[in-house]
Structure 1
Amino acid sequence: MNDDFCISEDNSYNFEKHWNNAYLKTPTQSLGWYEENPIQSVDLINECNLSSDALIFNAGAGATTLINKLVAQGYSNIIVNDIAASALTELKNNLTSHKHTKIQFIVDDLTNPTELLNLKNIDLWHDRAVLHFFTDESQQLAYFNLIKKTVKVGGFVILAEFNLDGAKKCCGLNVVNYNVEMFQKGLGKEFQLLKSFNYTYIQPSGNTREYVYSLFKRAA
């Protein structure tokens, strides 16, 4: 898949419309960020040793397969967020079994949140391929402030974004490339780095994208 499949004709378009169009116009399994098996995220989550009823927040989830994986492992308290309602509709349709699981779906903007401001006591914040789309400092500040407001002491944060050797655009949008030091600066000293690694992701098209994965814990 060509990452430029949904380029806007100008720079003033609506991001909600942009991402809704991405999911409405392209089959989920053909999207450049689709993972059939998000093993890196699952492994990092398992390292947190969370209880089955821990509050897990998936930021900018899209139509991720991660939720099915978490439900299968017995996690029962999950909040799924995206700016695109079409993405969350697709995710709901793809859930195989969740009748004993509390899953809350929130359509909201991570950089200009409304309903997300009501969140609190999150045990785990998970973000794969979302933060790197926030190219303005004001967006980045709002995003990290939301983490600090909602993740509890002792809670965990997983950030997985394009690394410094990674792509400079995705889905027609510019991105910010990250390393662990940049994550740490955004989160602040109260978050302790537990683990990080680089990972080469293979897109459905066969092209590759370079990521950096990180796991932080909020200190007392």
Structure 2
Amino acid sequence: MANDDIARPNQPAARTAFWEGVHNDKDVDGVSWWQSVPGLSLGLVDKAELGLDEPIIDVGAGWSTLMDHLLERGYRDLSAVDLSVTALNTVRDRLGPAGADVTLTVADVLDLRMGREYALWHDRAVYHFLTEPGERADYLASLERSLRPGGWLVVATFGPDGPTTCSGLPIVRYTHAELADQFPGYRLVDTAGEDHLTPWGTSQQFTALLLQRPLS
């Protein structure tokens, strides 16, 4: 659970400044969550069996290569959201002309208003930073605005044996059952996990789920 002794950026401007600082101060492979191939995420996205024109959004995308790999698989309606313009500019430069149609948006996931609905919402490591009930309620409100009825949710957090902090911030660790309970009414379709190896060789346990939003 959270360590209250660690200061947390609780307001939107503070969150933006914090994550902009993280991405300005480190190289792409200098953050613990970096992975060249997001195999855990891709495996769960595959199980949703979406059509290639179905819209997918990746929240808290950072420097993730998920967009790169989804483009390679032929998906054509892709969006990534992050608080850091630096992170998204890095993604844009990396994708190059192939990613010209990928929508990259600087926005706060706790008040996300994209003006459209998506077939799949992907979150590899935002949710475990939400240590307060109000933050989790705001996240769920953004999810409800953004994910269409019958849409798919891929969400991953640190597992019960994972780290207790990330980037100096406290996090909440979840078992599969505990994480599924955070999304009442959603149908649990599949569970997954991995021991992610950081760029400096330490292991981080991740818990991941594929859930489906009810049709009504």
- Is TM (by shorter chain) over 0.5? yes
TM-score of the aligned structures, taking structure 2 as reference length: 0.90
Matched position secondary structure for 2:138: helix
Q: Which residue of 2 aligns with 1:200?
A: 195
Q: CA deviation at 1:181?
A: 2.7
Q: Given that residues 59 and 125 in structure 1 are in contact (C-alpha distance below 8 angstroms), is that contact kept between their aligned partners in structure 2?
A: yes
CA 1:12/1:162 → structure 2, altered by over 3 Å: closer, same or farther?
closer
Matched position secondary structure for 2:98: coil
Q: Which residue of 1 aligns with 2:42?
A: 42
Q: Given that residues 79 and 104 in structure 2 are in contact (C-alpha distance below 8 angstroms), is that contact kept between their aligned partners in structure 1?
A: yes
Q: Which deviates further from its counterpart, 23-32 or 67-76?
A: 23-32
Code of the aligned partner of 1:154: G
Aligned pairs (5 A) from 1:129-148: 129-148=125-144
* Alpha-carbon distance between aligned partners in 2 of 1:122 and 1:10, rounded to the nearest angstrom: 34
Q: Which residue of 2 aligns with 1:104?
A: 103
Residues 75-117 of structure 1 show CA distances to partners (whole Å, capped at 9, x for unaligned) of: 0101110011111111111114425x63111111112x2xx32
TM-score of the aligned structures, taking structure 1 as reference length: 0.88
Q: Which residue of 1 aligns with 2:20?
A: 20
Q: Which residue of 2 aligns with 1:210?
A: 205
Q: Given that residues 141 and 186 in structure 1 are in contact (C-alpha distance below 8 angstroms), is that contact kept between their aligned partners in structure 2?
A: no
Q: Given that residues 9 and 18 in structure 2 are in contact (C-alpha distance below 8 angstroms), is that contact kept between their aligned partners in structure 1?
A: no
Q: Which runs of 5+ in 2 are unaligned?
A: 1-5
From 126, 145, 149, the counterpart of 1:149: 145
Q: CA deviation at 1:10?
A: 4.9
CA 1:192/1:22 → structure 2, altered by over 3 Å: closer, same or farther?
same
* Alpha-carbon distance between aligned partners in 1 of 2:167 and 2:55, rounded to the nearest angstrom: 30
Q: CA deviation at 1:63?
A: 0.8
Residues 141-180 of structure 1 show CA distances to partners (whole Å, capped at 9, x for unaligned) of: 1101211222112210001110111110010000011123
From 152, 167, 171, the counterpart of 1:171: 167
Structure 1 ranges of 4+ moved more than 6 A: none
Code of the aligned partner of 1:194: V
CA 1:55/1:205 → structure 2, altered by over 3 Å: closer, same or farther?
same
- Number of residue pairs the alignment of both structures matches: 207
Q: CA deviation at 1:184?
A: 2.6
